[in-house]
Amino acid sequence: MKLYKQYSDNELRQVALIILTQHLGHANALRFLSLNQASDVDYMNIRHELFEELSAKEIYNNAAEFWQKRNNMPS
């Protein structure tokens, strides 16, 4: 049986969003999230709030840093 790291709610959201974005692209990941939410969350608005001050390069560098740290964590 494979054991997985236990994530906090915020970590889980971050990791899931990164994985969805990598496999589906930004537009389809956001579309998927909006299709699977019972609430009236506006993910496009959240995206603008989270990333409006960042360039694409900064977002990429932040994601790369996250994954590098993630891959260097002991299991």
Model pLDDT for residues 14-70, shown as the tens digit of each residue: 888 899 999 998 888 888 888 877 667 777 788 888 788 888 898 899 888 888 888
pTM comes to 0.45
3-class SS at 26? helix
- How high is the pLDDT of residue 46? 82
Residue 19's pLDDT is what?
A: 92
If one compares 28 and 75, the residue with the highest pLDDT of the two is 28
Length of the chain counted residue by residue = 75
d(CA 11, CA 31): 21
* Torsion angle, alpha carbons of 21, 24, 26, 29, to 10: -80
